Amino acid sequence: MTDASPPRPVLLAVDDDPHVLRAVRRDLRAAYADRYRVLSAPSGREALRTLDSLEARDEEPALFLVDQRMPDMTGVDFLLEAVARFPSARRVLLTAYADTEAAITAINQVRLDHYLLKPWDPPEERLYPVLDDLLDDWWASYHPPYRGIRVVGHPVSPAAHHIRDFLTRNQQPFRFVDAARDEEAAQLTAGHPDARLPLVLFPEGDALSAPDSAQLAGRLGIAGTATRPHYDVLIVGGGPAGLGGAVYSASEGLSTLLLDRDVPGGQAGMSSRIENYLGFPTGLSGGDLARRAVTQARRFGAEILSPVEAVGLRKAGPSHIVTLADGREISAEVVLLTTGVSYNRLDVPGVERFENAGLYYGAATAETTACAGEEVHIIGGANSAGQAAMHFSQHAADVTLLVRGDSLEKGMSQYLVDEIAARPNIRVRLNTRVTGLAGGDRLEELVLRDSAEERTEEVPARFVFTFIGARPRTDWVAGLLQRNRAGFLLTGPDLVRGEDGGVPGWEAGREPFLLETSMPGVFAAGDVRAGSVKRVASGVGEGAMAVALIHRYRASV
């Protein structure tokens, strides 16, 4: 038996000008009446009474479209009260040309999502694309009451963490049920007496016992198979560079396949908040950026397969063959390697026993709820660590940032340094490194060494997230493509030359292109490439640049 369908989300328009309000209501109903309830109010006070009614009926507004200039209450003042009640609703301000400054101020005051200048005709060009994007974002984070996926397991189990992380990063709503504490657990597992925990139960009645990523992806219908025997472009790695390459490659008519060993998004996809990416003044999460990019790539016809792992690469005549871990082989004219990097493991004896049981690599946003009211420790002094500190400070009681260096400014963007300094529950400990971990079934304690004061202390620690440098994911092409000592791929002018001035093994009758590796027709972009700028924007840019070079390569063969 399933729950009744929840009521449709609400779009609320507020404007004191009856002609404008009528026009807003008309345009909203024309495009969204089949999926949303469109409500309107002639003033901020009346709109607040509407919100009272929605709260009483447990209904949820998805979007506020509010005029700034209203006599009894400005649009910003209304939004300040409205978002306190419904913080997830998207916020759009209707402004005249003279109100632009107020709109920009509102970005900081109410985290305004967008402002529209009146008039917005034609709505197909100036209204609907903006609202479609905001509503897609709202749905991605909205969790309506329903009987969806349930995960029964132990909170500190590495296997349970892996499943929660996989579902979270794939935007799959679920409810976690503590096998030891929740009364619901016994009822849910009763029908599966031989199942191993964690147990994943689906609303259709079936279940998976301790599944891996491939089993989950197959059940959720997100794994897929290649539809062609041969592609123009095969991209290995789904971070910003890979997704950027997929968007540009597919949009320019090249048959494109992207492979990712886990969930598209890469390290950036695990970021809790990216605030310096062009075009998003209020910032966005790495998961949101990855979701948008995947949708955009697929819209242009790119195919995306995950989780699949590339383990081999060889040249076969004019083609390149990539071998997958399951033995499958995929052929392509050109290969673009965007495998990125993975965070370095903490170099402390016995660290393996606490991985995903109190010690996590990356932001691990699946653990956000578990951290509520707890103390969180974050190891690292670069942007990823700073973004994680800001994210967890919204949920944890206290966040301690452990930095080996003597200054945050040396490795972190200034905007993050300033935000951390202004957040009262974030503490920064400089000149500090972790030298030991302790605990039973899960992490319970850290041993910290202060190099400035030359002292060691033990501190309680249940949640530790590490961001301590990264290593490239290139072991699978070692000995095949040129790498530097750290394992990053060499490309173009950085390729090592032999005594004759040529690249050893280079068979093409030309010089390597800028992002081309030591194998003609194999390119590299993003963090995996030696000398790349480790930023989301530069990764996307290199992915786009690689496509331009791929066109030149195809014209040369």
pLDDT digits (tens, 9 = 90+) for 36-84: 999 999 999 999 999 999 988 878 899 999 998 888 888 888 998 998 8
Domains of the chain: residue spans and CATH? 10-141 (3.40.50.2300), 149-220 (3.40.30.10), 230-342+473-483+523-546 (3.50.50.60), 351-468 (3.50.50.60)
Instruction: Measure the CA–CA gap between 522 and 491, rounded to whole angstroms.
Output: 10
Instruction: For the chain, give percent helix, strand, coil, nearest 5.
Output: 35, 25, 40
Mean pLDDT in residue range 91-114? 74
Residue 2 pLDDT: 35
User: Beta strand pairing status for 230-236 and 207-209?
Assistant: unpaired
Instruction: Measure the CA–CA gap between 75 and 102, rounded to whole angstroms.
Output: 10
Residue range 467-504, pLDDT digits in tens = 887 899 999 999 999 999 999 999 999 999 988 888 99
Residue range 148-207, pLDDT digits in tens = 899 999 888 888 888 988 888 887 888 888 888 888 888 888 888 888 999 999 988 899
**Please, what is the average pLDDT of the chain?**
89
Please calculate the CA angle 347-350-353 and round it to the nearest 5 degrees.
Answer: 115
Mean pLDDT in residue range 86-104? 78
Instruction: Measure the CA–CA gap between 313 and 185, rounded to whole angstroms.
Output: 46
Locate all alpha helices (DSSP H) within 33-143, ordered by sequence: 44-56, 75-85, 100-110, 123-126, 128-141
Percentage of the chain beyond pLDDT 90 is 57
Instruction: Measure the CA–CA gap between 254 and 544, rounded to whole angstroms.
Output: 13
Q: Please check whether residue 28 is in contact with residue 15, taking contact to mean a CB–CB distance below 8 angstroms.
A: no
Torsions phi, psi of 60, nearest 5?
Answer: -120, 125
Residue 147 pLDDT: 62
Instruction: Measure the CA–CA gap between 187 and 356, rounded to whole angstroms.
Output: 27
pTM of this prediction?
0.73
Report whether pLDDT(115) > 90. Answer: no
